[in-house]
Amino acid sequence: MTNYKTHYDESITDPEKFWMEQAKAINWYEPPKQGLSKDEKGFSRWFNGGKLNTCYLAVDQHVENGRGDQTAIIYESPVTYVSQLYSYRELQFETARLAGLLRAQGVEKGDRVIIYMPMIPQVVFAMLACARLGAVHSVVFGGFAAQELAVRIDDAKPKVLLTASAGVEVTRIIKYKPLVDEALELADYKVNKVIVWQRPFVKAGMKEGRDLDWASLLEKAEPCDCVVLDATDPLYILYTSGTTGTPKGILRDNGGHAVALKYSMNHVYNVEPGETYWSASDVGWIVGHSYIVYAPLMHGCTTVLFEGKPVKTPDAGIFWRIIEQYKVDVMFTAPTAFRAIIKEDPKGKLHQRYDTSSLRNVFLAGERCDVATYEWLDTLLDVDVIDNWWQSESGWPMICNSLGYGMKPLKPGSATFPVCGFDIRIMDANGQEQPANEEGAVVIKLPLPPGCFPTLWNDDERFINSYFSTFEGFYLAGDGGYKDEDGYIFITGRTDDVINVSGHRLSTSTIEEVVAAHEAVAECAVIGIADELKGQIPVGFVVLKAGIGIPEDKLEAELIKTVRLQVGPVAGFKRAAVVKRLPKTRSGKILRATMRSIADGKAYTQPSTIEDPAVLDELKELMSEQEIGIAFSDDSSAS
């Protein structure tokens, strides 16, 4: 086993040599002529001259190399009571046929295709079919508001839009086609072809001359072979939220993406081909792109496609049931999924019904993993629980306990060390590197390794201004953090989660850690609320575990006392309100910025990614009743 430090040092001192060596793990049509180069815009590009096809790597090569009968996709849908298995050979058939369908509709290399679908096998076929043709797919989270879909249509200018008649979320059906129709009316760019997969429980209305039936077209489609692509050709656009309200189109290329994801399966996640890998996310997010679809399939694993939620489909034991049923080796999800389980089943009793002994590791990402959630999982499962930190922009982990190099001692709250290729520094506002245990901005020295975005779709200026203008020669991650004396990196949250209390800069995540550790708390959010006297004050919003009967005033007093002891009186933590639920995106991230706007009486736009808009009204009503925030109380200092 290669030593982590040796590999890491090589990746930083001679990145081109290091990544050209890693590129040998990829089955290229033609190997790259150079590792790192600059394009005509002066942007870094990886593996110039290399020829490949991502769909070939994810599908065809496995059929050719004897894995045709191995299960490639497990589709598990507890919301529709459907389970299906697809072998690599069947996946090849479905993908090649769908690529032929798209080609018959005029889709060629470089054309954009928007995919607006639920978590069903057809969404994976669609992504791979686009990759097969060299078309650039842009997956939009199924159920996104029509306006948000329209914005993405105008930016991507797709030749074709693929959708399904409906999606299912716990107890409700979301009809997609009316949302698509509205989006197409709102968009300036006109899409001439909409291809609809009709699900058995909802039949979508079709507009003559524009809308086409997916299944009918598929019957006539001729299978299509993989197109030879350059390493620097685009694979997909994934839109992520921007601070201006206009989504940013993260661009991903084929070559760097393939090398990085293959490397990560070997060296970061330590997964073997043939093992079952389950990322409990959605293909509408970066985790779904990288670790439901592309990385597991390129590595020859069996991947789980889960159409459900961690609770209420049908209960908080669904994760354990799937692990037992399909002998899952490695699982990857967001901490919020487990917090939802903790709320419903705080003692983990449902876990006792299932045999999860196949499970070797649980990886957590998407948000900072609080210590309480880590400890609950660690105790319940008796497996290594690994935090890893990355972003849509990177496409794969930047900080992780890279298991392919052997397990490093864990420190709860830390994602451990930088992944090879990522030279991570902690900077103060003046661009000076911070000493150990001093918090600052998390930045990464250029060049970024393969797999990271080469630019934003049709917006090079924003690419530079958003990420590279603050510190010359460094990528600005937008997160705060610190390194301890052993080099472990702790991410404390978005830099806008740092609050100023009477001149003292405090991270709300530090206070959250303390609040979340209380035995009655299932999950929480601490936000800084504007205060006329102190500038800002921290206020906690907590969701209780099921069956907990502690009086709210007693809980608040205990939390105030604990924060005072562990963080200090300077935190000024004096309010903790109990709520039934927190406002979250569909991917599980808590909408702290929106919560702050409500408390401060500022105008805000309802986030398109919100899971349930009604929770904002509940929160506003609670803040008003309890006079939380300057918008609801004349005596702000009393809070």
Q: What's the pLDDT tens digit per position in 342-386?
A: 999 999 999 999 999 999 999 998 777 878 889 999 999 989 999
DSSP annotation of 611 reads: S
pLDDT of residue 427: 95
Map out the domains of the chain as residue ranges: 89-227, 502-638
pLDDT for 511 beyond 60: yes
For the segment 264-285, what is each residue's pLDDT rounded down to a tens digit?
999 999 999 999 999 999 999 8
- Tell me the pairing of strands 194-197 and 160-164: parallel
Among residues 420, 423, 373, 426, the alpha carbon closest in space to that of 400 is found at: 420
pLDDT for 469 beyond 80: yes
- The two three-digit tokens of residue 61, written as one number: 């090569």
Which CATH number, 3.40.640.10, 3.40.190.10, 3.30.300.30, 3.40.228.10, labels domain 502-638? Answer: 3.30.300.30
What band does 632 get if pLDDT is binned at 50, 70 and 90? Answer: low
Range with lowest mean pLDDT among 448-462, 464-478, 540-554, 597-611: 597-611
What band does 503 get if pLDDT is binned at 50, 70 and 90? Answer: low
- The percentage of the chain sitting over the pLDDT mark of 90, rounded to a whole number, equals 76
Q: Which CATH class is domain 89-227?
A: alpha beta
What band does 610 get if pLDDT is binned at 50, 70 and 90? Answer: confident
For the segment 65-81, what is each residue's pLDDT rounded down to a tens digit?
999 999 999 999 999 99
User: What DSSP line would sit under 143-195, residue for residue?
Assistant: T--HHHHHHHHHHH--SEEEEESEEEETTEEEEHHHHHHHHHHH-SSPP--EE
Average pLDDT over residues 303-314: 95
**The whole model's pTM is what?**
0.86
**Using CA atoms, how far apart are residues 204 and 144, in angstroms rounded to an integer?**
17
- The percentage of the chain sitting over the pLDDT mark of 70, rounded to a whole number, equals 96
**Using CA atoms, how far apart are residues 615 and 624, in angstroms rounded to an integer?**
14
The single residue listed with the structure tokens 């993260």 is 250
pLDDT of residue 633: 43
Residues whose CB falls within 8 Å of the CB of residue 173, separated by 6 or more in sequence, listed in order = 166, 167, 201, 202
DSSP annotation of 313 reads: S
Q: In this structure, what is the dihedral angle of CA atoms 285, 138, 493, 575, given to the nearest 10 degrees?
A: -70
For the segment 533-569, what is each residue's pLDDT rounded down to a tens digit?
677 889 999 999 998 889 999 999 999 999 888 877 7
Q: Are 113 and 160 in contact (CB under 8 A)?
A: yes
For the segment 104-118, what is each residue's pLDDT rounded down to a tens digit?
999 999 999 999 999
SS (H, E, C) 382-438: CCEEEEEECCCCCCCCCEECCHHHCCCCCCCCCCEEECCCCCEEEECCCCCECCCCC
pLDDT for 506 beyond 80: no
pLDDT of residue 1: 67
Total Cβ atoms within 10 A of residue 20: 19
Residues forming beta bridges with residue 433, ordered by sequence position: 427
pLDDT for 51 beyond 50: yes
pLDDT for 320 beyond 90: yes
pLDDT for 635 beyond 70: no
**Using CA atoms, how far apart are residues 422 and 394, in angstroms rounded to an integer?**
10
pLDDT of residue 421: 98
Average pLDDT over residues 19-44: 96
Total Cβ atoms within 10 A of residue 189: 12
Residues forming beta bridges with residue 138, ordered by sequence position: 114
CA 9 to chain centre: 28
**Using CA atoms, how far apart are residues 404 and 299, in angstroms rounded to an integer?**
14
Average pLDDT over residues 391-415: 95
Average pLDDT over residues 233-250: 81
Q: Backbone phi, then psi, for 486, in 5-degree steps?
A: -100, 0
CA 391 to chain centre: 7
Of 211-220, 561-570, 594-603, where does the model show the most confidence? 211-220
pLDDT of residue 549: 86
Residues whose CB falls within 8 Å of the CB of residue 92, separated by 6 or more in sequence, listed in order = 59, 60, 63, 68
